[in-house]
Structures are given as structure tokens and as C-alpha cells.
Amino acid sequence: MVQQTVRLGMSMSDFIEQYNQQPFELVNGESIALSPNISGHQWIARTLYDAVNPFIREHALGELLWETPFVLTDSPDWVKGSRTPDLIFYSAQRWAEYIAAIPDWKGKPIVMVPDLVVEIVSPNDRYSDIDDKVDGYLADGVQMVWVLDPQRRKIVIHLKDHDQQIPLRENGLLTGGDLLPGLSVPVKALFA
């Protein structure tokens, strides 16, 4: 009996074409359509971006991008998975190496796992789905995940290779650890 192996995913050109028609994530071979974000969700994302990006720029730490897909590949033209977090950050060195190695990088999703991912919990999100996303990000190689929960006015930080979560309440300070040294943003300012 001959067993056939099923290759999960799709070609990069098919991914780009389908994503342009309807944004989606590709997780474990399943295409999951992305719903439009509600206004409050976008407001929190913009508020965090506005609080963090000037610091990143001032200290030349890297690139912070908003709702940009990144893909996992097993060959240059085969997408085996994708995610589109609310915000992603790449360190300056990794970003410079990436754009030097991929001359057509502007014409496709990013083919590199971010250093930092931000997920914002919407009222219709299930916590088990958020937990699954966080686990997936960390398994893929993301170093740090920030989960912002506007309804509960808290942030939970997840670190690669650490079993503990770091919860931050409204009176806490969001810091960037080794990825964004010196960053300090009052949690309260993000949920004002």
C-alpha cells in the first residue's frame, strides 16, 4: 500500500490572490477568514502604536507594523501557515537582514516570524482562541506576545520559553524587556 503525503498550504501567489480578496489566516491547513475590527479595537491598536512607535524610531530599534500578515514557509514559494496580528515588531538587525535577503519583500507578506506580537481582545473573541493563538506564536518562534484586553483593562505578557504569564493591571507599566529596552508605557494610558 502506497501512502500519499498531503502538503498543507498553498503557493505564495495563491496566498496573495486569496488574501487580497478576503483577508484570512492559514492555521493547520485551515483558512480562517478575518472579520473587520470594531472601532474600539482599532482605537486601542492605534493608541498602542502611537505610544510605542516613536520610542522605536528614536532608538532605531526596528519596525513596528499594523495588521500585516506574516507567513511560515517550507520552501520559498510555499506558504504552510500565516497569521495577521494586530501589531508586529521586528528588531532592526533582523529587519535589515530580511530586506537585504528578499529583494521583492514589498510585494508579498513578510516571510519571517516577528520578535513581538500584539493581540487585542475584541468583545466577540473567545479566550481559548486567544490562548491558542498565543501558543502558536510562541511555538513559531515569537519571543514576546502582548495580549491587551480592553474590557478587563489589563495586559498579559507571554514570553518564549517561560511558563509564567505576566499580568499588568491598569496601574502597571508596559515595558519592552530585552526587545525594547527602556520602553515604559502606563497601562492606564492605553485604555483611557
- Strands of the chain, DSSP E: 10-11, 24-27, 30-33, 62-66, 70-75, 78-83, 87-91, 116-120, 144-149, 154-159, 165-168, 173-176, 180-186
Residue 167 sits in which domain range?
Answer: 10-190
Flag whether pLDDT at 4 surpasses 70.
Answer: no
CATH number at residue 145: 3.90.1570.10
* Contact criterion met (CB below 8 Å) for 91 and 35: no
| Domain contains 4 | no
pLDDT digits (tens, 9 = 90+) for 85-131: 999 999 999 999 999 999 999 999 999 999 999 999 998 888 899 99
| Domain contains 101 | yes
* Contact criterion met (CB below 8 Å) for 34 and 25: yes
pLDDT digits (tens, 9 = 90+) for 13-37: 999 999 999 999 999 889 999 988 8
- Tally of domains within the chain: 1
State what percent of residues in the chain have pLDDT above 70: 96
| Domain contains 5 | no
| Domain contains 42 | yes
What is the arithmetic mean of pLDDT over 41-49? Answer: 95
State what percent of residues in the chain have pLDDT above 90: 83
| Domain contains 2 | no
- CA atoms of 183 and 177, how far apart (whole Å): 8
* Contact criterion met (CB below 8 Å) for 172 and 156: no
| Domain contains 119 | yes
| Domain contains 80 | yes
Q: What is the pTM of this model?
A: 0.92
Burial readout 144-174 (b: 16 or more C-beta within 10 A, e: otherwise): bbbbbbbeeebbbbbbeeeeeebebeeeeeb
